Each structure stands twice: as C-alpha cells, then as structure tokens.
Chain A
Amino acid sequence: MGSMAMVNLIWVFMTVVGIVFAMFNGTIDEVNKAIFSGAKEAVTICIGLISVLVFWLGMMKIAEQAGLLRKLTAIFRPLVTKLFPEVPKNHPAMGYILSNMMANLFGLGNAATPLGIKAMEELKKLNGGKSTASNSMITFLALNTSSVTLIPTTVIAIRMNYHSASPTDIVGPTLIATIFSAIAGISIDRFFYYRRLKKGG
C-alpha cells in the first residue's frame, strides 16, 4: 500500500474512464481540448505561485535568522511536552518535534519534512529501535497532519490568479478551521492513546 500506489490508481482511473466515457458520450472533441487546456492551466498556476512563494519564503528567512522560530519554540514547549509523556524534556526528539511544528505553522512544508524525519529517528531510538509505531510517534503524526496553518499562501496565490475580489478573505476562516481540526486531531489521538493504555499496550 502507501500513498504513491493510490495516487497512481486515481490518476489512471480519471484519465482512462474519461476517455472511455467520451467514446460513448460523443465528447471526444472536448476531451482533446481538455488535455491541452489542462496542461496549460497547470503551468499558468505555477507561474502565478512564484510571486507569493518567493515573497513568503523570503519573509520566513528573515524570521528564521532573527531567531523568531526559536522563540516560538520556547513558548510552545511546555504545552507540547505534556503531549509526549514518554519523551524526556531535554531529549533531542523534543527539539525536532517543536521545530517541525513551527515550520508547519508558517507553511514551510519543505523545511518541515527533514525535521519531521529527524524527530521520527529520535523517537525510534527512544522506543528501542523497534519497527512498531510508539505512542509518541502516533501523537507526532496526529500533530503533523492536523497542524495549524497561519497563512495558506498557495491557496491565496491561486485565488489571485483567478481574479478573486479579495484573495485573502479565506485567511480567517481557514485559521478557525485549522485550529478546530488541530484540537480534534489531538483529542482523537488522546482517545486512542488512553484506549491503548487500558489494553496494556
């Protein structure tokens, strides 16, 4: 299994079913046009993304060099250590977990991934190198997939591309939605965590 295999299936399914459908539906002309217009649109979107990505990552570099991300890490540390009772407070795993969270918060997905892998490595060491997911790993994953996003930069860029009257008007709603889903993610994780403890796992 794995996400890669599933993407392949969905991708082939949409394209092939579309072509077969066109055969019976008499829409092969539209399909021909769609192939090229779809590709062209994708490039247009990516070109539009450059402006926002360059600006945002430039800003983030300043924040990083000013030590802002480190400062935020210190603020969040007490809260996050509570979620990981099996990780000693000053263990390197804690540092990686926090830096990964901060990177996600600021929409720096590319910076978040290597930090996340580092965190996992440390958590695996703490778990005696076993190939089974530990409680902390599952909690880290829940935090990661439901992490709060401060500013959805790419989405704003796409809305700009299509001439939205106010491309940033989804920032507030997105923030609210992401905070609720983060709380839900943590609660769901805790639910399964205590259930495992009860079972003696």
Chain B
Amino acid sequence: MEIVSLISLWMIPSLIGFILLYGTYKRVPTYESFVEGGKEGISIAFSIIPFLIGMLVAISVFRASGALEYFMGFLKPFFDFVGVPSEVAPLAIIRPISGNAALGMTSDLIATYGPDSYIGRLAATIQGSTDTTFYVLTVYFGAVGIRKMGDALKVGLLADLVGFIVAIVVVTLFFGK
C-alpha cells in the first residue's frame, strides 16, 4: 500500500525529469518540441466539447428528472448482492461503447459525489484503466473491411468486465469504502 502511494506521488515528476534529461542528452530542442507538441493538446480539448455537452446534458436531464434514482432503485438490490456500487453501473455500460461519453459520465460522478469520495475515485479509476472495445472494433475492423469478427467482441468485452471488477477491488482495498 505504501508503494502504491509512492508511485502516485512520484510517477509524474520522475517521468518528466527523465524525459527532459534524456531529451537534452539526445540533443532534442526540448522547449521548442514541447511547444510544438502542446499545440495539439488545445485542439484535442476543443474537439471533445461537443461530445461532453451532448452526454452531460443527457445525464443531467436523466438525473434531475428523478429517472436515474428510480431505475437505480430497481437495480440496487442486484448490484448490492454482487458488491458493485450501483452508482457506477451506468459508467460500466457506456465505457466499452464510447470513450468520450464515458468521460462525460465520469465527470458527472466526480461532480456529484466529490473527487475524493469512494464513488468519485472509483469512476476515475474505471475511466483510466479500461478502454473502448466497441470503438476500437468499429474503427480498426471497419477501416480495413473486416466483416466477420470471430471471437474479437467476446474477448474485448470479457477483458472490459475484468478491468471493471479489478478497478472496484483495487479502489476498495486501497482507499476503503
């Protein structure tokens, strides 16, 4: 557990230090390269605005109307039984389908429950540790014209499910409920 907090604390600063030293050693014009690469970040941040607006409005409406609470009421006993917090269930459903939609849901969970709450941390970890199976399937297979996917979907979704369960276990072990 100690080691995990050490990783959390040191990972980013040490990676930055290493990249800068290594870049200097390899005679990369570090500052110019940094600025050049950084420009891309601006366009990415702007390009996801419509994705997030669409998803956050839908979630906000669903929540504010009382519909979310109503549906969760039905699902709660089942999720309680298997030990999954029902608040993150919608995130688990949307995560394999769309990364940006899931990002919207994660933000909503963090905003509603607080970034340092159990649910907030869980949403953050799920978002960070799993990927969009359907997106990768559609884009990669679509681009090269693969029509018969074989076991690909099964394998991808099972891996997502394991990732989701692992995220719950790790966050619960590390931060407690």
A interface with B by C-beta (< 8 Å): 2-4, 6-7, 10-11, 14-15, 17-19, 21-22, 25, 27, 30-31, 33-35, 37-39, 41-43, 45-47, 49-50, 52-68, 104, 109-110, 113, 116-117, 120-121, 124, 131-133, 137-138, 141-142, 144-147, 149-152, 154-155, 158-159, 161-178, 180-181, 184-185, 188-189, 192, 196
Contacts and interface: CB of A to CB of B under 8 A. Distances in A.
Nearest to B13: A168
Contact of A175 (B7, B20, B57, B124): B7
Given A138-B155, A167-B115, A46 B33 contact: no
A42 B23 contact: no
Given A65-B23, A131-B147, A34 B60 contact: yes
Nearest 4 Cβ contacts at the A-B interface: A61-B37, A152-B128, A38-B60, A181-B163
Interface string B119-147: 01100110111111111111111111111
B142 to A, nearest CB: 8
A42 B115 contact: no
Given A42-B53, A110-B40, A146-B130, 6 more contacts: A7-B101, A31-B61, A50-B41, A66-B19, A124-B144, A180-B166
Contacts of B3: 172
Nearest to B158: A188
B125 to A, nearest CB: 5
Given A27-B66, A158-B106, A172 B7 contact: yes
Contacts, number: 379
A164 B113 CA distance: 11
Given A173-B4, A181-B159, A144 B140 contact: yes
Contact of B129 (A4, A60, A66, A177): A177
Contacts of A133: 141, 146, 148-150, 152
A53 B43 CA distance: 10
Contacts of B170: 173, 176-177, 180
Contacts of B7: 171-172, 175
A133 B35 CA distance: 41
A155 B8 contact: no
A178 to B, nearest CB: 4
Nearest to A196: B151
Interface of B: 3-9, 11-12, 15-16, 19-20, 22-23, 25-26, 28, 30, 33-42, 44-46, 48-49, 52-67, 70, 93-94, 96-99, 101, 103-104, 106-108, 110-111, 114-116, 120-121, 124-125, 127-152, 154-156, 158-160, 162-163, 166-167, 170-171, 174-175
A42 B53 CA distance: 5
Contacts of B108: 41
Contacts of B35: 58
B115 A163 contact: yes
A158 B128 CA distance: 12
Contacts of B96: 145
A28 to B, nearest CB: 8
Nearest to A164: B115
B166 A61 contact: no
B146 A137 contact: yes
Nearest to B151: A192
A52 B131 CA distance: 20
Given A117-B139, A175-B7, A178-B163, A14 B97 contact: no
B143 A17 contact: no
